[in-house]
Chains A and B, each alone.
Chain A
Amino acid sequence: MTYTPATYDDLSCQELVELVTDYLEGAMPDELRLRFERHIERCTGCGAYVEEMRQTIRVTGSLTVEAVTAEAERALLEAFRGFRR
């Protein structure tokens, strides 16, 4: 069967996009989670949107962060030696 928005209209797409993080974080009451899941199964746009959020999170996880600078480390180790004296 073909689904039209009418079949999942108890949650609009505009409402759904604001709930994606609650969903991915597992912070949703069961009843809402079922409506959410029913919606993304039937609505290609929202299915794609949730997939884009997962993709975004995955690629963000591949970024590297700046480490401690040599200068800061030197200063801290010096402070450490001074502190222990």
Chain B
Amino acid sequence: MEDEGELVAALRAGDEAAFKQLIDRYHASLVRVAQAYVPTRALAEEVAQETWLAVLEGIDRFEGRSSLKTWLFRILTNRAKTRGMRERRSLPFSALESDDGAVDADRFRGPDENWPGHWSAPPRAFPEERLLADETRGIIEDAIAKLPATQRTVITLRDVEGWSAEEVCNALTLSETNQRVLLHRARSSVRAALEQYLEDEA
């Protein structure tokens, strides 16, 4: 069933195959998004499961004004935020306040040199043949795992799962600018980790 209207109709009719299809498509992403708000994987799993129950309860009232995906992730995010606050977790988007540069400042010429702010140690682009090695992918996975939770969620949805910027903004209730800042920080860290790995090995 590819058509969303058909899926919704099937779900209302109590079609288990339709429900299973939705779970296969979205459950793992729901858990990943919830992890941006709650402190443990187990809690994220719990919030995702509650979200499905809320979907079953609410499906008759779903009017299709937004996409099913948007609706689903809105329910998840609202619940995850409430739960996150109850668990006394600090505001997840405080990550926005960090002011570390995308690249270490010592890679650039200092204020007293010629052309301050220009490269003193310029990058050279990565060797293509090494990029697709399994080990390189492992480095990226590790770098993503070490990111602050919201950055991790944004880069996973955008660059791994291939969501659009708009979908990510909707699901996480982020402004376009904040979404981009989080994506920028995340991609910059992953690039830096790759650079370090590929240089150490060279």
A: which residues have CB within 8 A of B? 5-6, 9, 12-15, 17-18, 20-22, 25, 27, 43-46, 48-49, 51-53, 55-63, 65-68, 72-73, 75-77, 79-81, 83-84
Contacts and interface: CB of A to CB of B under 8 A. Distances in A.
Among A13, A46, A55, A67, the most chain B Cβ lie within 10 Å of the Cβ of: A13
B27 A77 contact: no
Interface of B: 14, 16, 19-20, 23-24, 27-29, 31-32, 45, 48-49, 52-53, 56-57, 101-103, 105, 108, 114-119, 122-126, 128, 131-132, 136-137, 140-141, 144, 155-156, 159-162, 165, 176, 180, 183-184, 187-188, 190-191, 194-195
A80 B53 CA distance: 8
Contact of B187 (A51, A56, A83): A56
Interface of A is mostly: helix
Nearest to B30: A68
B137 A59 contact: yes
A58 B123 CA distance: 18
